[in-house]
Structure 1
């Protein structure tokens, strides 16, 4: 929960607003991002949540792969993108360093 709240705060939300949003999540309409940078940011947030407990479960990985594909990333690059984010986070790289590398990868695909 703390990690989800920190993501909300990065996006300009207050903690109580994040909690209220989660409590009423079935009534919220989600708009898919319309560019690679926004898509990357959302996939990055998903991967961070997947890694939050230090255990990467197959169902969590499948969920990240599925969401990234639904956001518009090609299936051929989704696995590599998630691996790059996962490895970068584990190696202590900043979000911007990981994003730069991932965007370069996406541009050459």
Structure 2
């Protein structure tokens, strides 16, 4: 898949892909639309579809690597929320997973629920990632 000596960026990407996979499986099954979404995220970052599938099949082997800046943190939680919405059904466990991940990614516990819901509503309303990011900046600071 990737070489023995992986860069920090590759480690973060693999960690992010496995977080998406964990979210997809939280409701008990991995929907094809969810898998396609995860593959598209991987491909956007240069991964092959079979590498993404392999990663999802062996998620327990990937060490969690957290993002190091606010932009990366936002992008990861955004992808997780978009993933939650991918199958058209927002399971309460998926929402809880996103909120917990937002806290693990380093967002203040007091605002994680608001952040996840704000991203969710923005995606549903058809706003761009950048527009949602700018709107979120106001209450993240």
TM-score by length of 1: 0.91
Say if 2:41 is the partner of 1:7: yes
Separation (CA, whole Å) in 1 of partners of 2:56 and 2:101: 18
Separation (CA, whole Å) in 2 of partners of 1:103 and 1:30: 25
Say if 2:50 is the partner of 1:16: yes
Separation (CA, whole Å) in 1 of partners of 2:47 and 2:137: 26
Separation (CA, whole Å) in 1 of partners of 2:124 and 2:133: 14
Q: Cα RMSD between the aligned structures?
A: 1.1
Q: For residue 42 of structure 1, report the CA deviation from its aligned partner.
A: 0.7
Aligned equivalent of 1:26? 60
Say if 2:118 is the partner of 1:84: yes
Deviations along 1:2-27, one digit per CA (max 9) or x if unpaired, are 01101111222121111111122111
User: How many corresponding residue pairs?
Assistant: 107
Structure scoring higher RCO (CA < 8 A, sep ≥ 6) equals 2
TM-score by length of 2: 0.72
Say if 2:76 is the partner of 1:42: yes
Separation (CA, whole Å) in 2 of partners of 1:72 and 1:84: 17
Q: 5+ unaligned residues in a row in structure 1: which ranges? A: none
| Runs of 4+ off more than 6 Å | none
